[in-house]
Structure 1
Amino acid sequence: MAQTLTTIAFDADDTLWHNERFFKLTQERFAELLAPYTDGDALMSRLLEAERRNIRHYGFGIKGFMLSMIETALDVTDNAVPGAVIAELIAAGQDMLQHPVDLLPHAAEALRAAQAIGPVLLITKGDLLDQERKIAQSGLGDVFDAVQIVSAKTPETYARIFDAYDGAARGMMIGNSMASDVRPMLEAGGWGVHVPHDLLWDLEHAERPEDHPRFHEIPDLGALPDLLSRTG
């Protein structure tokens, strides 16, 4: 692989730093606030439906999640949810937008190994301002040759981004999501490396491309340098 691989890209949230755990904590608070109106399982199902429906309106990220929580709260209470509950949901979302960036183990080591190959890219979804904040606070911003904050990760997205380098066929995408990071990159003709995270948003699940020759899975970013050298 090292003879043909020239460009490596990383996902950000739950690949280089923690993210989903803040959503889970807020969902727990959401369930507490709405407990008088519905049971937790039904509430989470309604919230997920709202998130799936609203992606095309709000995109990915905390702000869309906040609006989906408010919409769900109105829905399950027949518009009778107290204003104080809405205020708490807004406050919870604002707290999420200020949470500190906590790097995952081996993130810096993995980036150094990638730099030895060629240009290193960051390709992430989400709210522009929030992602820019996290990149700046991570201390990793100077590592990347380019940062792309996109509305969706599709084969076309990856083809367009990697065309500015040597093409997707000579590129690798590393991330925690089969649905967003791995499968679309494989479809674009590149390598897809899955780095599982303990927490994964329900809308990011997808089947493993078991037999694909360009698919790899590593237990954590600490295994990336070995993968790059072993498959060279």
Structure 2
Amino acid sequence: MTRSALITVLDDEPEIRSLLKDALEEAGFRCMAFARATEFEAALNRVAPDVCLVDLGLPDRDGLAVVHRLALESGAAIIIISGRAQVQDRVTGLELGADDYIIKPFDPAEVVARVRARLRKGRGGAERQAQIARFNGWTAHFDRYVMIDASGAEVAFSHAEGEVLRLFLEAPKRLISRAQMQESLGGAAGESFDRAMDVRISRLRTKLGEDPKNPALIKTIYGAGYIFLGEVDWT
């Protein structure tokens, strides 16, 4: 039998935790719920969630710091669930590595639908996709979220960065517009999506050792989109 996806909920409100856990389990997911960041982070040493639902208003830790650490260290998709409705809060969350942002109050059915959408775009498609790509002295392992350079040094990348990297590596030497990125990666089009893409691409360039003023691999075509100029071999 295929293992159901594991979803974690980090929220200090008991009613929210119960509501989300019941909805997710009724939808067929496994679910673990936590009230404090310390408990949640300790659990990550034992389990590997597929999707993390994170509230920003936590009693023992800055929720954005938790999101940023998850983006850097975990292969899970990250969905923020917060009462903070300001555009800047959403932009900051996405820039720090979140894949989606849901504002409280919410309909549990919408959360379940968003979780399913992230799984389809992430691990669900990976079952039929190659997991290792070689390009310009680098080897990207999408199953482990690491890139290895010619010397053997490993550089980790986040789930969100991996989505963008895969998009480039699957279409080398072809223009990829912002509209195509939005269609492929999901999320609402607009300033927050554009900012999030800018940050992810900037981080990828840094990890690839690119010159920010004259990148050799990920080229910006102003007003049009991006082109990845490397030679790519998938296995």
Q: By the TM > 0.5 criterion, same fold?
A: no
Larger Rg belongs to: 1
Where relative contact order (Cα < 8 A, 6+ residues apart) is larger, the structure is 1
Greater share of residues in helix: 1
